[in-house]
Structure 1
Amino acid sequence: MLLGTLLAAVFAFETFGIAHTSATNAGLIISLTIVFTPILDSAISDRRLPGRFFQAAVIAIGGVVLLASGGVFQAPNLGDLLVLAAAIIRAVHVTSMSKLTGNAPMNSFHLTTVQLSTCAMLFSAVSLFYGDSIPHFLARLDPGRTMLFLYLVVACTVFAFLIQTWAVRRTSPSRVSLLLGTEPVWAAIVGITVAHDPVALAGYLGIALILAGTAWGRSIEQRHRLAPAAGIDPRPVPAGRS
């Protein structure tokens, strides 16, 4: 239920944030989770990541900036800041899920069900005091919006977070965050092919940097994580010692 409360906060900040910014910006800013998650992961554990990992993350974030701005700096608006808060909370959620359930004999489907049920209860309670009631909202859905609504519920929420929960418990939160960091690339691909969003040369350079940074960071993190199991100390050797 604690994880479900964090997940509800992610949903709330993302939903209110995207109402005040573009879908492309939201998809780009939320990818900053790839920086926040390793920082939190290393802060609460004794496993300190190599400096090269953060260099890879900086490369990926530089790609996000290029892809979001097209090479022209723009000040963030309210929606951008809300999505940024969602990225921070998502990093807390991913790290907490790994620490709280990583070694527990817990079914991923059951864990996802409890989290989403907690979200449903919280949002149902809030809907009594804010905005339209849920029955009134559902009554206004036409067939087209109903299909989009079911897509958001089943594919983008239930399936996505079920897979994320399953993956986080079988690998490290840093690796999961790096894979989630490719989200702006998929957002750009869908935007270009479906919505026909224009992408400048700087945007294509940003996509290349995101892919390079996430691939490099994932490789560094994997080697660092597997080194203790192989009997290798991943920490640098101080000067004067062999």
Structure 2
Amino acid sequence: MLHTGKRVSLSRQEVALIAITAVWGATFLIVHIAVQYSGPWFFVGMRFLTAGVITAVVFAKVLSGLTWKEIWAGCAIGLMIYLGYGLQTVGLQTINSSTSAFITSLYVPLVPVLQWIVFRKPPGLLTWLGVALAFTGLLLLADPGNVGFSFGAGEIATLASTLPIAAEIILIGFFAGKVHLGRVTVVQLLVAGLLGFATMPVVGEQAPEFSWVWLAAAVALGAASCLIQITMNWAQRSVSPTRATIIYAGEPVWAAIIGRIAGDRLPPVAIAGAVLIVAGAVVSELKPRERTETDESADGPLPDPLPSERTNA
């Protein structure tokens, strides 16, 4: 992000992330409809295998240079995509798209916490405040009309999905700039799709009867997943994982707007909980100012908090 006086302009990478976040928000409702006609793991397999094939066609000319490092990176990210989106899809069988989106956004405050565990980078006070806000919001969203915490199976599966989704964001940031964007995207999408199909016999899921609903949804989301993953991998070469997650925090808002148009209705207390979750996601990524405006005017503009080496500037 570039700072010019008091004006703040978004980089093209950040604009791209905002755009795909809106697309991402729309996918919740599509998946919710699709799993009424298909089992969750079959749909995950179809969605990501389709995305992988589309991406392989796009990057066909460079696939011959695939390295073992890119295979490893793609498998690691693909495993997280499979677990995150798979559990989220399981949850969408029984909960509406808006609720799913707000619970899923809990992965945002998890990113700095996981970075602390893995990279020994302790979170600051604002991160813990964000986690507290998000957890309070989760309690309100979980049980808006009763006393106690009464998540059903769908909510629990969706809550579990937040951990691998957070890990996916960290892995993408870790490998960004170290691997070829196109090749690693092909691997991660194909791995996620194949693992989805492989899960079917394990959980006793049968292939569904043919329906244009799940077929159209799988193709549309396959194309969307291709676009989303390519954009994330490209943009996070210069946008840090923490800054990216602030942008991603807008995803449930887009999902709620689309869900509202489609007929989703959340009680006022649940809406308050949803607001707290989004607020927690944003607060967890804020960084305290270390210099004043006076310092800035005296010594020049504040340095860009993003990495100075931009491979796709």
TM exceeds 0.5? yes
Would the alpha carbon gap of residues 74 and 103 (structure 1) be closer, same or farther in structure 2, given more than 3 Å must change? Answer: same
Matching residue within 63, 73, 90 for 2:165: 90
Compute the displacement of 1:126 (Å).
4.3
Aligned residue for 1:177? 245
Matched, 1:38 2:105: no
Please give the alpha-carbon distance, in whole angstroms, between the structure 2 residues aligned to 1:167 and 1:41: 19
Would the alpha carbon gap of residues 52 and 150 (structure 1) be closer, same or farther in structure 2, given more than 3 Å must change? Answer: same
Compute the displacement of 1:210 (Å).
4.3
After the TM superposition, which residues 6-155 of structure 1 pair with which residues of structure 2 at under 5 Å, given as runs?
Answer: 6-67=80-141, 69-70=143-144, 72=146, 73-99=148-174, 101-104=175-178, 106-127=179-200, 130-133=204-207, 137=208, 140-142=210-212, 144-155=213-224
Aligned residue for 1:235? none
Aligned residue for 1:193? 261
Give the fraction of aligned pairs with identical amino acids, expressed as a percent: 21
Superposed CA deviations along residues 169-191 of structure 1, whole A, max 9, x for unmatched, are 33232333333333332222222
TM-score (norm. length: structure 1): 0.73
Residues 59, 210 of structure 1: 8 Å contact kept: yes
Compute the displacement of 1:206 (Å).
3.8
Compute the displacement of 1:118 (Å).
1.2
Segment of structure 1 superposing worse, 24-33 or 60-69: 60-69
Compute the displacement of 1:80 (Å).
1.8
Compute the displacement of 1:88 (Å).
0.9
For the aligned residue pairs, the C-alpha RMSD in angstroms reads: 3.3
Would the alpha carbon gap of residues 220 and 120 (structure 1) be closer, same or farther in structure 2, given more than 3 Å must change? Answer: same
Residues 41, 174 of structure 1: 8 Å contact kept: no
Please give the alpha-carbon distance, in whole angstroms, between the structure 2 residues aligned to 1:7 and 1:15: 11
Residues 25, 68 of structure 1: 8 Å contact kept: no
Aligned residue for 2:272? 205
Corresponding letter in the other structure for 2:113: I
Please give the alpha-carbon distance, in whole angstroms, between the structure 2 residues aligned to 1:52 and 1:194: 35
Please give the alpha-carbon distance, in whole angstroms, between the structure 1 residues aligned to 2:83 and 2:288: 28
Would the alpha carbon gap of residues 71 and 159 (structure 1) be closer, same or farther in structure 2, given more than 3 Å must change? Answer: farther
Please give the alpha-carbon distance, in whole angstroms, between the structure 1 residues aligned to 2:251 and 2:258: 11
Residues 24, 191 of structure 1: 8 Å contact kept: yes
Would the alpha carbon gap of residues 83 and 147 (structure 1) be closer, same or farther in structure 2, given more than 3 Å must change? Answer: same
Structure 1 moving runs of 4+ over 6 Å:
221-225, 227-230
Residues 66, 202 of structure 1: 8 Å contact kept: yes
Please give the alpha-carbon distance, in whole angstroms, between the structure 2 residues aligned to 1:26 and 1:185: 11
Would the alpha carbon gap of residues 189 and 229 (structure 1) be closer, same or farther in structure 2, given more than 3 Å must change? Answer: closer
**Partner of 2:157: helix, strand, or coil?**
helix
Would the alpha carbon gap of residues 190 and 9 (structure 1) be closer, same or farther in structure 2, given more than 3 Å must change? Answer: same
Aligned residue for 1:3? 77
Corresponding letter in the other structure for 1:154: A
Residues 26, 80 of structure 1: 8 Å contact kept: yes
Compute the displacement of 1:112 (Å).
1.5
Superposed CA deviations along residues 69-96 of structure 1, whole A, max 9, x for unmatched, are 4464541122222222211111122222
Compute the displacement of 1:39 (Å).
0.5
**Partner of 1:220: helix, strand, or coil?**
coil
Please give the alpha-carbon distance, in whole angstroms, between the structure 2 residues aligned to 1:121 and 1:212: 36
TM-score (norm. length: structure 2): 0.59
**Partner of 1:44: helix, strand, or coil?**
helix
